[in-house]
Structure 1
Amino acid sequence: MTSELMAQQHSMVHRALGTKIVLTVYGDEYFPLLSQAVKLIDGYEDRLTVNRPVSEVMAVNQAAGRIPKLVSPTTYDLIKLAVHYSRENFGFNALIGPLVKLWKIGFAGANVPSDRAIKERLQLIDPYQVLLDDDHRTVYLERPGMELDLGGIAKGYIADRIRDFWQSRGVPAGIINLGGNLVFVGRSPRRTDGQWIIGVQDPQLKRGHDLETVRQPAGSAVTSGIYERFLVKAGRRYHHLLDPRTGYPLETDLSSVTVFTDQSVMGEIEAKRLFFNGAPLVGWTEQPGNRGAVFIHNDERVENVNI
């Protein structure tokens, strides 16, 4: 069965969510599900993106300081989840957009802003200034200039929905790769034990060169790191992962943290929780859905947690 499935591997490459997407299923009869998954991805992006003038999230942002906006159940639930974890104040913040746009690290015009400008933007990223109305399903940003950006969790949420869709159609094995955000479905046809082999990127080398490999059953792997987007100014390196508590790039000796979880959307959140903590958290793997993590330090020291 394993060799038969391997011969029936089908993949589709798609560009969406600001990244390269690769979808893979095993089994000839499941090939049509690839194009259907692409349509699902595009539909979610249409609702959730902030990289186009029109979307449900952009409608919320454009109404900031003026009126609440009604959104679809999917968008509301994801915003509610993002705001909930933003209020835990561990580093994840779905309102950080105005600060990101000030620094522009990874984009044209990247610069080191003044301390005054940073303090002004910090006033616009307070997750407690988001009013959520469960009864009317509306979202209201209290200050003009505030912005929601679900980019920090949207890929994980969408990957989970593709997995659910494939499972409902009986896909025996598959891989959902949303620009490095990985979800593995079913049992790997490459191994008799059904485990998937997951490479953890070497931060010092180009993408595809691994520093560590991990075996896991079906589930999610998400990485939070600072090695791909940065700005060098006056001999100092500024990475793109901004600390919403200070407005500056996070001070850390970590290059990346890769987490292995049941749900990809929670992987997005937990990767940032561990990265901002800078070290393993006591009891983290005892929390439902958290399987393990790989910490890679700037000196390439590897620290495995429950792997």
Structure 2
Amino acid sequence: MSRLQKSYYGLGTLINLTLFGNPYHQELDKTNELIKYYEDLFTVNRAQSEVMQINHAAGNYPVVVSDATYNLIKKAILVSQENFGFNALIGPLVKLWRIGFANAHVPTPEQIQERLQLTNPADCILNDYNSTVFLKRNGMELDLGAIAKGYIADRIQDYWLALGKSAGMIDLGGNLLLMGASPLHANGQWSIGIQDPQAQRGQAIAAVHWGACSAVTSGIYERHFEVQNHSYHHILDPRTGYPHDNELASVTIFSQKSIDGEIETERLFFADGPLTNWAQDRPDIYGAIFVTKNKKIILQKLPRMAVSLLDDQYEIIE
């Protein structure tokens, strides 16, 4: 079986797309065009996009958006209303801290309290009939960064299935979607590395052996900055306005859909570890791996036999 892999840059990261079978370069190029299409709708890192049209109109008028944008925003707002830490209106806080940019800084408590007033999901008014989104207060900003990659990975898989493809790898940087049975192993399983939070990208401390799945990781190592010997990471808690501080270095979710992985990594990170009865009624969510700052690997719902330890400085706990 032949294999074709190409790399692109988009969504603020390096994208790697791999197809097996009898793939053509144009199929991967068209996949990248699909990624660009969705990025043009969802990005908040440019002056113009459908989401930015909504942000520019905050406090003034509702904006009509495409079905894709409307459906993703509706999903994000409904999850935000659960109030566990995920919040699609966290944009004002993200832009205040600027974590990941050269001008990152620690805001004053007064600045944080001011921005927190602009993050209430109840202030985002959705109209299903007209497909409009209205942010009630000036200064409010939608930011779909915590959910968009998962949505896009799922749409890529839809596209590849429509082309008749049976196996492929979608790597959107922190979001990995493995389609079909792996042609790389006789048992059809994929081997998915768990990143060492204290090392450069690509260095794994464990490997998970699983069938077709999405693997989404959120880690404090991805974007952070240091001030007076204190490290501030990019996972902001919309309930406090500060980076959420706990003993976790990363959370990885294995699920059928990548968008569910995005949501559940946040749920478990803000829960500070395993949740009792988490996803017991969700056969489409396969399990979670927590990596702690003191080098423990905690499994939830995943069987121990599916995980291989690659670094003896770490310890696996079920």
TM-score range (shorter-chain normalised) is over 0.9
Partner of 2:296 in structure 1? 301
Distance 1:116 1:43, change over 3 A: same
Contact preservation (8 Å) 1:25, 1:31: no
Task: Establish whether residue 176 from structure 1 lines up as the match of residue 170 from structure 2.
Answer: yes
Task: Establish whether residue 291 from structure 1 lines up as the match of residue 289 from structure 2.
Answer: no
Partner of 1:63 in structure 2? 57
Distance 2:165 2:25 in 1: 10
Distance 1:102 1:47 in 2: 23
SS in 1 for 2:279: helix
SS in 2 for 1:98: helix
Q: CA deviation at 1:306?
A: 2.2
CA RMSD of aligned residues (A): 1.0
SS in 1 for 2:146: helix
> Cα deviation per residue 1:25-78 (whole Å; 9 max; x = unaligned)?
012245432111111111111111111111110100000000000001110000
Distance 2:95 2:42 in 1: 18
SS in 1 for 2:184: coil
Distance 1:72 1:106 in 2: 30
Instruction: Give the counterpart letter for 1:280 in structure 2.
Output: P
Q: CA deviation at 1:23?
A: 0.2
Task: Establish whether residue 106 from structure 1 lines up as the match of residue 100 from structure 2.
Answer: yes
Unaligned stretches of 5+ in structure 2?
Answer: 303-318
Structure 1 outlier segments of 4+, above 6 Å: none
Contact preservation (8 Å) 2:4, 2:23: no
Distance 2:279 2:114 in 1: 38
Alignment of 1:1-307 (within 5 A): 5=1, 8-288=2-282, 289-307=284-302
Distance 1:33 1:84 in 2: 34
Q: CA deviation at 1:287?
A: 3.2
Which of the pair is proportionally richer in helix? 1
Q: CA deviation at 1:151?
A: 1.0
Contact preservation (8 Å) 2:174, 2:218: no
Instruction: Give the counterpart letter for 2:188 in structure 1.
Output: G
SS in 1 for 2:170: strand
Distance 2:248 2:27 in 1: 38
Q: CA deviation at 1:181?
A: 0.5
Instruction: Give the counterpart letter for 1:303 in structure 2.
Output: I
Instruction: Give the counterpart letter for 2:132 in structure 1.
Output: T
Q: CA deviation at 1:180?
A: 2.3
Distance 1:29 1:132 in 2: 41
Distance 2:41 2:281 in 1: 31
Distance 1:228 1:157 in 2: 20
Distance 2:98 2:40 in 1: 24
> Cα deviation per residue 1:206-246 (whole Å; 9 max; x = unaligned)?
11111111011111000011012212112212111111000
Among all aligned residue pairs of Structure 1 and Structure 2, give the percentage whose two residues are the same amino acid: 52
TM-score by length of 2: 0.93
Contact preservation (8 Å) 1:284, 1:290: no
The count of aligned residue pairs is 301
SS in 2 for 1:215: strand
